[in-house]
Amino acid sequence: MGEPLRVGLIGAGKISGAYLATFENLASLRLTAVTDLDPHRARAVAERTGASPAPTVAALVSRDDVDAVLNLTIPAAHAEVALAALGAGKHVYGEKPLTAHREETETLLAAARAAELRVGCAPDTVLGTGTQTARKAVDDGLIGTPVAATAFMTTAGHEAWHPDPEFYYQTGGGPLFDMGPYYLSALVHLLGPVVRVVGASSRPRPRRTVGSGPRAGHTFPVEVDTHVTGVLEHAGGALSTLVMSFDVRAARLPRIEVHGTDASLSLPDPNGFDGAVELNRGDGWHTLPVSAGYRDAGRGVGLADLAEALAAGRPHRASAELAAHVLDIMLTLTDAADQGRSLTVTSTCERPSPVPHFGP
């Protein structure tokens, strides 16, 4: 390993804490600069890490001691900030979604290609031992030929615990766009890209009520569908059933299961990095030993993988192409639900390379 990738952080909100905690254990990354709309937050991160505060996005991306930008801004600003970084000659890694619209995604990918720069995107949870151990089991043929998968994320809604939950129920929000990237990224790692979708969705409650904090009792309108279900056809022929809901009070559904001609797999929550992977050949569920994935991983391991990929001259795994395909799946599923018919997913991506087994 050569010199660490020097990282400039844009957006020092709540999620940045998880990234900074991971950075402390990653020799391939070094935080050198930080900026935020709230200068107090930027200064707090600078004091904690030794990075230099920058007054604006433009000032940060122009710094000579920044090789890559970590874009943790709100989703509506993802494309603008990423394009500014690419224009200044910096690699970019951002939180999901990659952008808010297909057109922005196409512009971003074209700019990265033209500048010969890397763009990565969360979620990187799929690079942990949970999804990667399951993927190795699929690749090693432990379940036979993959036939189907199920993916369920059900909750009664985030307004029960979040003091300002409105953005979850506005355009670009909802259960599919909030949590879908974790599940869909895992399904693409396991079964490959999606070629066709059919779906349905509903909005049972036109208004929601804040359940905690100083605004408890305040009601607000719901602008997006809050229960989304779909069937995804993967390029290899497997069919995945997806349910993403903010309308389920209680459930005993698994997070993700993959079913093959010889056996079935049960996976942990793809919003986490690890957890037990279980195999059932018809003789009961048996936990598989950890066999692949970054161990003890946290938010930001995708950026570390990008840094190591740059040094090794290989593709990085949490890629913009994967994130763009996942966004296209979600948008196409939304269109299919609105139109009441199946639709072709026009984008595709390479299945990311597996993460080898690291550590004991």
The secondary element (H helix, E strand) that includes residue 133 is helix 129-139
Helix 301-312 and helix 16-23, axial crossing angle in degrees, nearest 10? 50
- Other Cβ atoms less than 10 A from the Cβ of 225: the count is 22
| Residue whose tokens read 């951002």 | 94
**Is residue 96 among the annotated active site residues?**
yes
Cβ atoms of 200 and 335 closer than 8 Å: no
Q: How far apart are CA 3 and CA 20, in angstroms?
A: 19
Strands of the chain, DSSP E: 5-10, 29-35, 52-53, 68-71, 91-94, 119-121, 146-154, 194-202, 207-209, 219-221, 227-234, 239-245, 256-260, 264-267, 278-280, 285-287, 343-344
- Other Cβ atoms less than 10 A from the Cβ of 145: the count is 12
Which of the following is catalytic: 14, 90, 96, 136?
96
Q: How far apart are CA 95 and CA 300, in angstroms?
A: 10
User: Catalytic residue numbers?
Assistant: 96
